[in-house]
């Protein structure tokens, strides 16, 4: 193997720290063009790639976030939502016609969702929340309104009847919505119109994390959704919009329906019929399950291999052309045009062109048995040089009902380039492995979920992979909380910790959750405090126990060195909470470095800020782990 030069190392790390360049591609209805986002140092831009490979910039939204790109049914316009970075307050804009002229559909407040008509390409409906209210109203707009009438614009369709999310059919008729009951359960409210809507299905509070609503069948008679619960797995269900009858369309006996975040959430629909025809589950790798003979044949050549997993991103209106991406663990993901009839794939472009041809580390499966006998899985990434045991960073995923996946992990690759092993643990409470496994994390913030992480280190030490004298924890959101707690309570195990956007005080977190989480307050408390009336409930945690499990209360002068990072715009974890923690740690004499990003929210997104963050992480780990 060729040893990279110092200059090569610097260039590699700079490329790993940069945001993905080309992302979020959307296939035009005729299958001939692809709209996508291109992100540079200034921020995201909307681009178009035509069938001959030519590329063209359509719009720039520097210092913003852009998401939810969608074509109208005839391909005459492209819509998307955008927000100042970290604000999570979304405007709806678009580009129309052969010249892709810009149109602004909404401003002020936040567009939470929008729907396009299958038969009237000029029409759309969107839900909108005012800046100072949690109330969400429904508006209708036409893409040509402002051309025909300068005083025209969106028209109110319906005021808020207490819905968390609206349900709109393909004819853009509001048919109901979802709303939270006092006990935290979710009510599915349906009818031929809002005047006749009634609750047809109640999803228990403990099944709410599994709930995903896709939309109506073409005739409006069925609503497709994913649901799970305390037992069984997340499954695809069709609910009768008139009588609430529920029929399971697909269920795996061991794994939840789900997929990669870059694609659909485990369910794909035939664009010709509007019916679901594919489902997927994720164990260590993605597995497809065709619901029709045609779909089974189409995905036969998309089965995961040792080299990549193929993810379906989009399908043309006639279903003759699919847009897929091949996910690699040791290189950039590669977009392809795929013919479902022949199984042939034609390469298009990659998301990180600066990494093409680089020799990078691979992910390997990592499995162990927790102290109480529960089987836990995850991944490990070794550095390409050196010999075990390695200095190790435990990368704790957020959620906690998230999960780690087999994928290209830029942060882990960065650590590997510095000589660190990384562990990626799907501790109890992670999603994807059934309701019982997810709910095994209820009441275990700082408890058994935390001990799963410590058991992972112990397993790595026993196998000879992990150097027990050089272990760090690193994570964001819940992962930041777990990393902080480890530094405060397990100095015998953890030499230092990196915590990004961490909740610091479980007492205030459960008693006074941030406004962002108010609709889910009951579920949040059940997750943190324990699941009452659940087979996994081990007794309600009292305030004393919450304090023991809170980094803010466990912090003392013996805490391991800390690197903290937080976005001032974060709507989920108040910046003042992290400010207080950092100040108190410094007053106690704990070695602490605090990065406060004025232009970020719950995540550190910009290339410049990621460069700053990981440069500090590199110095921090070198100081405390000695690499």
Longest dimension (CA), the chain: 72
Among 424, 602, 603, 624, the one annotated catalytic: 602
Distance CA 478, CA 131 (A): 27
Distance CA 375, CA 373 (A): 6
- Count of Cβ atoms closer than 10 Å to residue 8 Cβ: 12
Among 86, 84, 43, smallest CA distance to 569 is for 86
Complete edge-to-edge strand list for the sheet that includes strand 267-269: 267-269, 276-282, 286-290
Give yes or no for a contact between 67 and 110, defined as CB atoms under 8 angstroms apart.
Answer: no
Distance CA 206, CA 519 (A): 14
Distance CA 621, CA 418 (A): 10
Distance CA 368, CA 68 (A): 38
- Count of Cβ atoms closer than 10 Å to residue 548 Cβ: 16
Q: How far is CA 486 from CA 207, 376, 461, 483, in A?
A: 29, 19, 17, 5
The answer to whether residue 570 is catalytic is yes
Among 309, 430, 477, 606, the one annotated catalytic: 477
Question: Helices 448-462 and 478-489, interaxial angle, to 10°?
Answer: 70
Cis preceding-peptide flag for 400 (omega within 30 of 0) = yes
Give yes or no for a contact between 548 and 556, defined as CB atoms under 8 angstroms apart.
Answer: no
The answer to whether residue 477 is catalytic is yes
Q: How far is CA 296 from CA 133, 292, 325, in A?
A: 46, 6, 18
Residue for token pair 């164990």: 283
Q: What would the two tokens of residue 259 be?
A: 């997929």
Among 448, 466, 449, smallest CA distance to 457 is for 466
Exposure b/e, 580-604, CB count within 10 A at least 16 = b: ebbeebeeeebebbbbebebbbbbb
Among 256, 570, 603, 606, the one annotated catalytic: 570
Q: What would the two tokens of residue 362 be?
A: 């691979």
Q: What would the two tokens of residue 109 be?
A: 């407040």
The answer to whether residue 185 is catalytic is no
| DSSP track, 481-505 | HHHHHHHHH-TTT-SEEEEES----
Give the H/E segment covering residue 413: helix 410-418
Task: Point out the residues that are catalytic.
Answer: 477, 570, 602
């Amino acid at each position: 193997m060729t040893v990279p030069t110092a200059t090569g190392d610097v260039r590699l790390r700079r490329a790993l720290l940069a945001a993905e360049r080309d992302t979020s591609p959307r296939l035009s209805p005729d299958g001939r063009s692809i709209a996508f986002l291109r992100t540079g140092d200034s921020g995201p831009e909307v681009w178009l790639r035509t069938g001959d490979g030519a590329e063209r910039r359509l719009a720039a939204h520097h210092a913003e976030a852009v998401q939810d790109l969608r074509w109208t049914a005839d391909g005459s316009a492209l819509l998307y939502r955008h927000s100042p970075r970290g604000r999570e307050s979304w405007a709806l804009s678009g580009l129309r016609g052969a010249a892709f002229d810009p149109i602004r559909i909404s401003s002020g407040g936040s567009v939470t969702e929008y729907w396009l008509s299958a038969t009237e390409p000029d029409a759309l409906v969107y839900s909108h929340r005012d800046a100072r209210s949690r109330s969400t109203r429904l508006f209708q707009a036409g893409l040509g309104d402002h051309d025909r009438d300068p005083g025209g614009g969106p028209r109110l369709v319906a005021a808020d009847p207490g819905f968390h999310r609206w349900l709109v059919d393909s004819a853009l008729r509001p048919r109901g919505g979802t709303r939270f009951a006092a006990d935290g359960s979710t009510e599915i409210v349906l009818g031929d119109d809002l005047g006749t809507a009634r609750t047809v299905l109640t999803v228990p509070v403990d099944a709410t994390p599994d709930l995903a609503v896709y939309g109506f069948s073409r005739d409006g008679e069925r609503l497709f959704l994913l649901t799970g619960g305390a037992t069984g797995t997340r499954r695809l269900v069709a609910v009768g919009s008139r009588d609430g009858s529920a029929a399971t369309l697909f269920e795996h006996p061991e794994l939840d329906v789900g997929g990669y975040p870059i694609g659909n959430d485990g369910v794909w629909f035939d664009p010709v019929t509007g019916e679901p025809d594919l489902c997927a589950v994720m164990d260590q790798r993605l597995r497809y399950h065709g619901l029709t003979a045609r779909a089974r044949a189409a995905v036969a050549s998309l089965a995961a291999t040792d080299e990549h997993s193929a993810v379906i991103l989009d399908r043309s209106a006639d279903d003759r052309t699919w847009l897929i991406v091949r996910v690699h663990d040791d290189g950039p993901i590669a977009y392809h045009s795929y013919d479902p009839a022949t199984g042939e794939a034609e390469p298009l472009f990659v998301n990180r062109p600066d990494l093409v041809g680089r020799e990078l580390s691979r992910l390997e499966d990592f499995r162990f048995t927790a102290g109480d006998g529960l089987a836990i899985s995850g991944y490990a990434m070794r550095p390409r040089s050196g010999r075990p045991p390695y200095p190790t960073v435990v990368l704790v995923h957020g959620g906690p009902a998230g999960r780690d996946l087999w994928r290209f992990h830029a942060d882990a690759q960065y650590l590997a380039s510095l000589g660190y092993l990384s562990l990626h643990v799907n501790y109890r409470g992670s999603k994807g492995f059934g309701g019982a496994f997810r709910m095994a994390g209820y009441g275990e913030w700082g408890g058994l979920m935390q001990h799963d992480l410590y058991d992972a280190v112990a397993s790595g030490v026993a196998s000879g992979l992990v150097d027990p004298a050089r272990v760090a924890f690193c994570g964001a959101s819940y992962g930041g909380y777990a990393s902080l707690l480890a530094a405060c309570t397990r100095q015998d195990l953890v030499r230092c910790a990196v915590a990004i956007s961490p909740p610091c005080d479980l007492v205030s977190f459960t008693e006074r959750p941030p406004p962002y989480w108010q609709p889910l307050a009951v579920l949040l408390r059940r997750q943190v405090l324990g699941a009452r009336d659940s087979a996994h409930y081990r007794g309600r945690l009292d305030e004393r126990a919450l304090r023991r499990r809170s980094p803010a209360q466990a912090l003392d002068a013996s805490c391991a060195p800390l690197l903290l990072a937080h976005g001032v715009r974060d709507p989920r974890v108040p910046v003042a909470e992290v400010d207080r923690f950092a100040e108190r740690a410094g007053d106690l004499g704990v070695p602490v470095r605090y990065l406060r990003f004025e232009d970020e929210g719950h995540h550190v997104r910009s290339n410049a800020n990621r460069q700053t963050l990981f440069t500090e992480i590199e110095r921090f780990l070198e100081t405390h782990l000695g690499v």
